[in-house]
Amino acid sequence: MNLNVTILEPAPRLKSLKGKTVGLISNGKEGTAGFFAHVDRLLRERYQVSKVILRTKSNYSAPAEDEIIDEARRWDLAISGLGD
């Protein structure tokens, strides 16, 4: 049996968040609204992030939809997290 294995390189690390676009991928649970609103505020005020985009999965226990992953390719940084 032959398996083709592709080794993916991680994206380059950012030296600064200033002026960057950051995407937040929420699992959509009840606690996420307040949690990610706070993260949004911290990113803008403390790290001078220029744009914060919030996207929410339709099923909090399944991977993000393809549309979200495709959109994330245009972000400088993505944060995925729980709001439990």
Partner 1 sequence: MSSELNSQHFDIDDSVDVQEFYHSKGWTDGFPIVPPTPTAVQACLNWALMPAHQIIGFEPVRERTINAEKLAINAVMAGCLPMHFPAVVAAWMAMLKEEFLLHGATASTGGCAILVILNGTIRQEIGARSDFNVLGSADRATSVIGRAIRLTLINILKVSPGAIDRSTLGHPGKISYCISEDEENSGWSSLAESRDIPKDASAVTVLAAGAPRQIMNEWTTKPEEILDTYAAEMRANMRNYSIWAGNYVVIMPPQHREHMKVAGWGRQEIANYLFEKARIKRSEWSSVGKGSVVRDKADIEYCALPSPDHLLLIAAGGPAGGFGAIIPPWLGTKSQAVTLAIGSCVGCDPSEEN
Where does this chain bind partner 1 (CB under 8 A)? 1, 3, 30, 59, 61-63, 84
Q: Strand pairing partners for 23?
A: 53, 78
Least separation in angstroms between residue 48's CB and partner 1 is 33
Report, in Å, the least distance between residue 82 CB and partner 1.
8
User: How far is it between the farthest Cα atoms of the chain?
Assistant: 54
What one-letter code names the amino acid at 49? V
Q: What six digits make up the tokens of 2?
A: 């032959």
Smallest distance, Å, CB 20 to partner 1?
A: 28
Residue 30 or 70 with smaller CB distance to partner 1: 30
